[in-house]
Amino acid sequence: MPVYTETVMDHFRNPRNVGVIENPDGVGEEGNPVCGDMMTFYIKVDNDRISDVKFQTFGCGAAIAVSSMVSEMAKGKTLEEALKITPDTVAEQLGGLPKNKFHCSNLGAQALTKAIEDYESKKAAKGAAIKEAREVVGAKETSKTDEKPLRACCCPYCDAEVESKESPICKACGVTLKTCPGCKTAVEPQAKLCPKCGKALK
């Protein structure tokens, strides 16, 4: 029967940070199909620092103790510091583990690393989405500035500018037009309605 230290037994009997974080920033899961141990870590990150961490573990007493210790070691650490948590440092903090239970410390450190990697992946994807959205908005704004300003009055035949006055004559094509009294747009002489504002024409 494995001999556990008092620290291991304390974390087994009184595990810290057990539970699930709603809407976690990162989730990491690791398991050993041989022994049946499964660990899931949930983390919240603020300014690249782990502000909260919780875990769910299915396994032996050593697995529960390791999960509890890893959660304590990770809370409050920067992501860079948390990634430095290794199986050896976990076992050391627990005062040692029996050789046949040392794999549990591997699972704990690996589950935490996966949670951090999950956070980093989501962060990168979000950053890419924001960048793409900004580029789309920027392209729309650019297209707006590239648009030609609307001219007050244009010939409906040749699109040349004409003077906005009663019965204007297009200097480009020589057609005599009539002007809408409402919006002052030059329209075809036979038009009954202004194509721009819909006002009836004489």
Q: Looking at the annotation, which residues are catalytic?
A: 35, 104
Q: What are phi and psi of 33, to 5 degrees?
A: -65, -20
Tokens for 70, please give them.
Answer: 């890893």
Give whole-number Cα distances, 110 to 105, 140, 150, 167, in Å. Answer: 9, 45, 63, 83
CA distance from start to end of the chain: 106
Q: Hey, how many other C-beta atoms are within 10 angstroms of the C-beta on 97?
A: 23
Q: Tokens 């690249």 — which residue?
A: 48
Give the separation between CA 160 and CA 170, rounded to whole angstroms.
7
